[in-house]
Amino acid sequence: MCVWVCFLVCVSVTGWFLTAEQIMTGEPHTVPVNNCQVLKEARFAVAEFNKANVQEQFAYKVLNITSAKMQIVAGINYILEVWLGRTVCKKSHTADSEPCALHPEPKASSRFKECQCHFIVTDVPWENSRALTLNKCHPN
């Protein structure tokens, strides 16, 4: 179903794609946070975040995206401001945390439940490569 939703979103922002092709200056440009490519990059970012978050056994998921920018350099940088929430899914069993329920407030634990992240995903579509090049999160 999501595929269809994303497809519809893509169709409705075709104008945005035309604009993207015209951006050759390397300046970051604000793009809609509900754009399907932005959602895809944010999901990739959280999967990488979960891999790097070695002390945590539970996977985090995207709560919302508060800002998204796109910058065309040697690849395409997606500059994202994202809120993540801790879920009940064990990282070792979770490829995609999206369907996971949020974890209830941890009791006597210093672990945080939500965090605010600044991510940059560098996507090089013509080389079929994608990397999380900036991963800065703080608990909230």
Residues that bind ligand NAG (CB under 6 A): 63-64, 66, 83, 114
Of 86 and 130, CB closest to ligand NAG: 86
Quick check: 46 and 90 in contact, CB under 8 A? no
Query: Would you say 23 or 63 has its CB closer to ligand NAG?
Result: 63
**Cβ atoms < 10 Å from Cβ of 20:** 15
Cβ 110 to ligand NAG shortest distance, Å: 19
- Comparing CB distances to ligand NAG, the nearer of 19 and 66 is 66
CA distance 121 to 45: 7
**At its nearest, how many Å lie between ligand NAG and the CB of residue 50?**
18
Q: How far is the CB of 5 from ligand NAG (least distance, A)?
A: 18
Least spacing, CB of residue 63 vs ligand NAG, in Å: 4
Query: Which of 30/64 has CB closer to ligand NAG?
Result: 64
DSSP 65-111: EEEEEEEESSSEEEEEEEEEEEEEEEGGG-S--TTPPBPPPPSS---
Q: How far is CA 15 from each of CA 12, 55, 68, 71, rounded to the nearest angstrom? A: 8, 43, 17, 17
